[in-house]
Amino acid sequence: MKLQNSVVAITGAANGIGYALAKRFKAEGARGIAVADIDAAKIAAVAKEIGALGFACDVSREQDIQRVVRETETAFGPIDLFCSNAGIGLADPDRNNAASAPDADFARSWNIHVMAHVYAARALLPQMIARGSGYFLNTVSAAGLLSQIGSATYSASKHGAIGFAECLAITHRDHGIKVSVLCPQAVRTAMIGKEPEKGSAAVDGIISPEELAESVVAGLAAERFLILPHPVVTDYMQRKTADYDRWLGGMSKLRRRLQQ
Taking 80 as the threshold, does the pLDDT of residue 121 lie above it? yes
- What whole-number distance in Å separates Cα of residue 208 and Cα of residue 70? 32
pLDDT for the residue 62: 98
β-strand 7-11 against 134-139: which pairing, if any?
A: unpaired
| 136 Cβ contact list (under 8 Å, min separation 6) | 81, 82, 84, 117, 120, 121, 124, 165, 168, 177, 178, 179, 180
Exposed/middle/buried for residue 44 (C-beta within 10 Å: 0-12, 13-18, 19+): middle
Residue 11, beta-bridge partner list: 36
pLDDT for the residue 259: 86
Structural domains of the chain ordered from first start: 7-231 (3.40.50.720)
- What whole-number distance in Å separates Cα of residue 3 and Cα of residue 55? 21
Q: How distant, in Å, are the alpha carbons of 68, 145, 183 from that of 73?
A: 8, 33, 28
Confidence of residue 200 (pLDDT cuts 50, 70, 90): low
The pTM is what?
0.94
Residue 178, beta-bridge partner list: 135
pLDDT, tens only, 41-90: 999 999 999 999 999 999 999 999 999 999 999 999 999 999 999 999 99
pLDDT, tens only, 93-115: 999 999 999 999 999 999 999 99
